[in-house]
Amino acid sequence: MTEQAGVGKEIFAAEHRTNYFDLGEGKPVFLLHGSGPGVSGWSNWKGVMNELSQSFRVVVPDIAGFGFTEFKEDSKYDIKLWVRHLTGIMDALQIEKASFVGNSFGGAISLGLAVFDPSRVERLVLLGTPAGEFEQTAGLRSAWEYEPSLANMEETMRLFPYDQSIITEQMIRDRYTASARPGAQDALRKLIPKPSEEGPTIVRGFPEAVVAKITAPTLVLHGREDRVVPPACGQLLARAIPQADLHLFGHCGHWVQTERRADFLHLVQNFLA
């Protein structure tokens, strides 16, 4: 680990200086982070990436515009750019095909790659991943409205897990520090939907008819008490993807890999192996 939490190695992919971690040996597995203030690959996966790297080659990138990867004012950030960035990372690391474990936004990028370039995808694990259409939740709205401060970071983070005791002062400080970097919150607001001032904001993920074309074996993991991405999204994915299994965790919110760490590791290691 470097002196600054979350800063790893650097490569160039899709015209972006890209921050990433590359651990272990074996079958390549990408861990893709969600969105939100102060998010990075490291903050999302630090609790499981070392253990997974004992069985797999684990690559943990910061997706373009997030974490410690470059944000460009003149770039149009959308699913096509993020998928191109992901394949650019794979090419730079000489990885032809991999499995992808995606949390929320990272799950959506995994779906995008499986739709647009299925030859690069071995298997998918989707955690709290949006799909279909749903009303913007309080958790997603808070990410856009957030203004950097320790108190605001704690308030936002408490919308994510079911068990509030897992949120530590260190977690809050780490996420706040990353979120307070100059321009970080302005960049985030360009990457996520602005809440509507009149009526509900509709969030749109990949529709059921599109994900039904995905051929990769898929494990869908969702917290029953997820207040950020509704469990109905996970049920849609499991229903639509031909080779999908669903595990719904009780007493669990949006952070399956943290809230149910041991179960997550057991399920994912068996599935990917």
Please state at what angle helix 138-145 crosses helix 184-191, rounded to 10 degrees.
Answer: 140
Contact 179, 37 (CB under 8 A): yes
Q: Is 96 exposed, middle or buried (0-12, 13-18, 19+ CB in 10 A)?
A: exposed
Handedness of CA 25, 82, 231, 152 (dihedral sign): positive
- Which of 246, 209, 15, 18 is CA-nearest to residue 127? 246
* CA separation for the pair 109, 184 (Å, rounded): 20
Q: Kindly state the helix (H) or strand (E) to which residue 123 belongs, with its residue range.
A: strand 121-127
Active site residues: 104, 226, 254
Helix residue spans in the chain (DSSP H): 41-45, 49-52, 79-92, 105-116, 138-145, 150-157, 169-179, 184-191, 208-211, 231-240, 256-259, 261-272
* CA separation for the pair 121, 119 (Å, rounded): 6
- Contacts of 7 by beta carbon, 8 Å cutoff, 6+ apart: 19, 68
Strands 57-61 and 28-32: parallel
